[in-house]
Structure 1
Amino acid sequence: MTEVTRTLRVGVPVWRPEVPVVHRAPVSGSRRCHTAVIGAGLTGLSVALRLAQRHPDRDVVVLEAARVASGASGRGTGLVGPRIGPPLRTARRRYGDERARALHIWSERAVEHVIALCARHHIDCGLTPGSQLLVARDRRARIAMERESAAAAALGVRLTVVAADEMPAGAGRSLGGLRYAPAATVDPAAFATQLAFAAERLGATVHENSPVRRIRHGDGPIRLSTDAGEVLADRVVVAVNGSGANSRTGVLGMRVQAAATVPLTNAQLAELGWLRDEPLAEIGDLAPYYRLTPEGRLVVGGGRIERGAHGSDPLDVEYLRAAVRALHPVVRDVPLEYAWSGPIGMTLDAMPVIGARGGGEMVAVGWRGHGIAASTYAGTLLADRLGAEDGSAPEVFPIPRGRAPALPSIRPVLRLLDLYLARLGRARDRALDSPSHDSGVVRIDRRR
């Protein structure tokens, strides 16, 4: 048999690698502004864009520790979905029906906001509107599906139950599923990058390589100290998510992984082309999920999560390969071309942290890997609230708060968390078919 040589780009996301790099100067010396935003991801850039658009007289400065979209906003999988917080059945028990319903409706509006924002600012990010399909592969997942469907019916929110015999061709064997809409997919790095350009065109300033080392409150403006200067601001928005997780917000930084194949052939797309406007995810902890990019690459994620938000290499390439093989026989031998990991922010109660923190600070973090729609919408609403100095704007989120429940800080507790995450990963391995023998030679390319 002829040996096949393949190149796998490790630690490199698939998103627009050919886009020219734009260098933005770090903060130097001291500068004054009305609003300083910490973090140039989707949340922070949405704040900056909205403020620059509606209040051009107020100077807005964005401080980014690395580069625009260098965190989750540029290393996700581009799924724009309507869910937020815990499952609906849990939200009903914890918060009551009124607020559980408000949470879901808020998340639907977040998706609609992203679609409208891309149209308004002519953002070319491969936006593909559609829906999302969650499938149950085993009895436990089917029970979870039925409970979520019952909760949605009780709340009167949109959720479609899909019977096993109504699944799209090529979705594989299942016990049924749930269809969420509205939804969409995007190139997340292109989306974030063009949000930055749009904000800058309207007068906002973005400084890269400007990590905020200290926030000082006192009489007068808030002082943000960086390595080479400082920014004095009347208002501050903290939008750092997993990369800047700390006890002040109650957010724990984690890393999750994804990969992208080479472009599929026409024959393969004939079987799986429906994934372009309806990504598929399995119900369950760390379950695999799949989407297609506009150029026909299959993107897969799931299987591993690791404490600590820093790093870009994938956590388990073999799992990602096995997940592709398990999806459909037509892609069994399709090689991966990109594999990477990215940071997310987790909270103990599965709810994001969105609201005021006192002393002129506001915060929006903790998206749990489902933040494209929610973070963009929250950033816009935070800007509206900042713009209404008299407090006349409505609350940004149905359950506003400035921090999440306290995180465990005792080393043995964190070690137990690591062991639990590892066990989940092993369980997810067992859920996939055993990977078949690969006779090809895989060459690893670690160039950045």
Structure 2
Amino acid sequence: MNGSRAPWARGEDTVSRPRLLGRLRCDVAVVGAGLTGLSTAVELLERDPGLRVVVVEADRVASGASGRGTGLLGPRIGPALSVARRRYGDDVARASHLWSVAAVRHVLDLVRRHEIACDLTPGSQLVVARDEKAAEEQRREADAAQALALPVALVERDELPPVAARYLGGLRYGEAATLDPVALTGQLAGVGERRGLTVFERSPVRAVRRGLLTTLSTDGGEIVADHVVVAVNAFGAAPGAPAGVVGLRVQAGVTRELPEEALAALAGLRAEPLIEHGELSPYFRLMPDGRLVVGGGAVRRGPFGSRAPAPGRLRAAVRALSPTLADVEIESTWAGPVAMTRDGLPVVGHHRGDPGLLHAGGCNGHGLAVAVYNGAHLARWIVEGTGGDLSFCLPWVRPKAPWVPRGRLVDRVLDRYLAHLTAGAGRPQAPGGPGPAAVPAGRSSHA
């Protein structure tokens, strides 16, 4: 079956929220009811319960990347540590990774503090190498982590868990988890609403007018606010969104409930998902109900569209994972939007020349922890200012991302490149065999 619904569909938010009609005045208006927007709103109301906060969403809560990810919560941000050290220096490379670790801890604390039921399963993540080139890159990454005193462990081939026995080695990242992203996003909306948050759905913002106050215009009304936060991530063409963010759609799928033999063989994937090193490479996690989620399918240009191509690549990846999966079929596939930038870093901060207009996006496939934590920082900057916040000095806090060329010719070239990546990343191979050029694990898309 080639469906278009993520496995989290059963947890979709069923609350009916109104469209924006008429003119409204508030302290902070947030564009986008995803993880960044809602975490910004919740943090604002926790820091200052007297604020009037409004979230306006083009579709429904969790309808974008926040509801179509694969539920992997883990550290890492930007390029590989070995690259980050050359590009930014040791202090920034170390601070950036520790920021991503803190982002994971923040989400874990948020879920526990608000008693959010989202099938949270704490654990770790194992990024594995399927060829010698990837294994060598992982050894360099482990050396960089050791030099920076970071909690990244090299796992030799003979130390890999049974489910990863066919690989050549791996890197283990601690303080990770899996969860249901739709449940997390929808319940964050509920947490905010119980504190006075107003959420408008089916109200796309058509224009952002800057001035002494900022005005958002929708088809049915306007919002006038002291501060506006644009949190649209992959939908970078939205009014007020930062430049340099490109939206893509990445395919994932889920199997039917696995037979007992397969569940026994893959039991370790509940607490430690398996991620192949490399761009668009497959990754796997076992859900609490016994189904297997597999990512790293076909990728397409543009954030819109939910139907995914035929699941041949995903099916091949599942069957290559374990002999017990030889007869297991993909139950449903879907396409989730991800936001990419040229340098692999998010773009978070103030609009150039307007401290009242803020933005966050470009999570580069690692949005589950990054998006939530960015929201917390945006809220703190609004309430307390940026003074004394060292995270404001990190390289992704900026008014825009590096320029990305656009146009029909560029789009055609990008389409061909994505097709080439899709074809290369989809070829199963024996360990040590030739394969696609690997890139730093930080660029894999598995939010």
Normalising by structure 2, report the TM-score: 0.92
Q: Distance in 1 between matches of 2:69 and 2:332?
A: 13
TM-superposed CA distance for 1:267, in Å, is 2.2
Tell me, yes or no, if structure 1 residue 332 matches structure 2 residue 294. Answer: no
TM-superposed CA distance for 1:156, in Å, is 1.2
Q: Contact 1:259/1:299 (CA < 8 Å) preserved in 2?
A: yes
Tell me, yes or no, if structure 1 residue 409 matches structure 2 residue 401. Answer: no
Residues 331 and 431 (structure 1), Cα distance of their counterparts in 2 relative to 1, 3 Å cut: closer
Q: Which residue number in structure 2 is paired with residue 436 of structure 1?
A: none
Which of residues 206, 217, 227 in structure 2 aligns to 1:235?
Answer: 227
Q: Distance in 2 between matches of 1:390 and 1:170?
A: 46
Q: Distance in 2 between matches of 1:326 and 1:179?
A: 21
Q: Contact 2:13/2:186 (CA < 8 Å) preserved in 1?
A: no
Which of residues 174, 180, 184 in structure 2 aligns to 1:187?
Answer: 180
Q: Which residue number in structure 1 is paired with residue 435 of structure 2?
A: none
2:406 partner letter: S
TM-superposed CA distance for 1:141, in Å, is 0.8
Q: Provide the secondary structure at the position in 2 that maps to 1:409.
A: coil
Tell me, yes or no, if structure 1 residue 252 matches structure 2 residue 251. Answer: no
Q: Contact 2:54/2:197 (CA < 8 Å) preserved in 1?
A: yes
2:297 partner letter: G
Q: Contact 2:13/2:61 (CA < 8 Å) preserved in 1?
A: no
Q: Provide the secondary structure at the position in 2 that maps to 1:107.
A: helix
Q: Which residue number in structure 2 is paired with residue 387 of structure 1?
A: 383
Which of residues 68, 71, 76 in structure 2 aligns to 1:78?
Answer: 71
Q: Provide the secondary structure at the position in 2 that maps to 1:296.
A: coil
Which of residues 413, 423, 429 in structure 1 aligns to 2:420?
Answer: 423
Unaligned 5+ residue runs, structure 2?
A: 431-447
Unaligned 5+ residue runs, structure 1?
A: 1-7, 434-448
Which deviates the most, 399-408 or 312-321? 312-321
Q: Which residue number in structure 2 is paired with residue 3 of structure 1?
A: none
Which of residues 299, 302, 322 in structure 1 aligns to 2:296?
Answer: 302
Q: Which residue number in structure 1 is paired with residue 441 of structure 2?
A: none
Which deviates the most, 244-253 or 407-416? 244-253
Tell me, yes or no, if structure 1 residue 341 matches structure 2 residue 338. Answer: no
1:55 partner letter: D
Which of residues 217, 229, 236 in structure 2 aligns to 1:225?
Answer: 217
2:164 partner letter: A
Which deviates the most, 10-19 or 277-286? 10-19
Which of residues 270, 274, 282 in structure 2 aligns to 1:276?
Answer: 270
Q: Which residue number in structure 2 is paired with residue 367 of structure 1?
A: 363
Q: Distance in 2 between matches of 1:397 and 1:126?
A: 35
Tell me, yes or no, if structure 1 residue 66 matches structure 2 residue 62. Answer: no
Q: Which residue number in structure 2 is paired with residue 350 of structure 1?
A: 344
1:414 partner letter: D
1:304 partner letter: A
Tell me, yes or no, if structure 1 residue 101 matches structure 2 residue 94. Answer: yes
Q: Which residue number in structure 1 is paired with residue 436 of structure 2?
A: none
Q: Contact 1:322/1:432 (CA < 8 Å) preserved in 2?
A: no
Q: Contact 2:6/2:333 (CA < 8 Å) preserved in 1?
A: yes
RMSD across aligned positions (CA):
1.6
2:281 partner letter: A
Q: Provide the secondary structure at the position in 2 that maps to 1:431.
A: coil
Q: Distance in 2 between matches of 1:36 and 1:418?
A: 36
Deviations 1:44-74 (A, max 9, x none): 0000001112211110000110000000100
Q: Distance in 2 between matches of 1:117 and 1:166?
A: 34
Residues 361 and 337 (structure 1), Cα distance of their counterparts in 2 relative to 1, 3 Å cut: same
Q: Contact 2:2/2:308 (CA < 8 Å) preserved in 1?
A: no
TM-superposed CA distance for 1:143, in Å, is 1.6
Q: Provide the secondary structure at the position in 2 that maps to 1:148.
A: helix
Q: Contact 1:172/1:327 (CA < 8 Å) preserved in 2?
A: no
Q: Distance in 1 between matches of 2:109 and 2:179?
A: 13
Within 5 Å, give how 1:18-97 maps onto structure 2.
19=12, 21-97=14-90
1:98 partner letter: D
Tell me, yes or no, if structure 1 residue 142 matches structure 2 residue 135. Answer: yes
Deviations 1:340-372 (A, max 9, x none): 001010000000001111421111100111110
1:401 partner letter: R
Count, aligned residues: 425
Which of residues 115, 119, 125 in structure 2 aligns to 1:122?
Answer: 115
Tell me, yes or no, if structure 1 residue 313 matches structure 2 residue 307. Answer: yes
2:231 partner letter: A
Deviations 1:87-119 (A, max 9, x none): 111111111111010000000000011111000
TM-superposed CA distance for 1:394, in Å, is 4.9
Q: Distance in 1 between matches of 2:71 and 2:304?
A: 20
Q: Distance in 1 between matches of 2:342 and 2:364?
A: 10
Q: Contact 2:250/2:337 (CA < 8 Å) preserved in 1?
A: yes
Residues 258 and 390 (structure 1), Cα distance of their counterparts in 2 relative to 1, 3 Å cut: closer
Normalising by structure 1, report the TM-score: 0.92
Residues 331 and 113 (structure 1), Cα distance of their counterparts in 2 relative to 1, 3 Å cut: same
Which of residues 5, 13, 20 in structure 2 aligns to 1:12?
Answer: 5
Q: Provide the secondary structure at the position in 2 that maps to 1:225.
A: strand
Q: Contact 1:323/1:432 (CA < 8 Å) preserved in 2?
A: no
Q: Contact 1:384/1:393 (CA < 8 Å) preserved in 2?
A: no
Which deviates the most, 377-386 or 310-319? 310-319
1:261 partner letter: T
TM-superposed CA distance for 1:19, in Å, is 4.8
Within 5 Å, give how 1:261-272 maps onto structure 2.
261-272=255-266
2:234 partner letter: G
Residues 99 and 316 (structure 1), Cα distance of their counterparts in 2 relative to 1, 3 Å cut: farther
TM-superposed CA distance for 1:321, in Å, is 1.0
Identical counterparts, % of pairs: 52
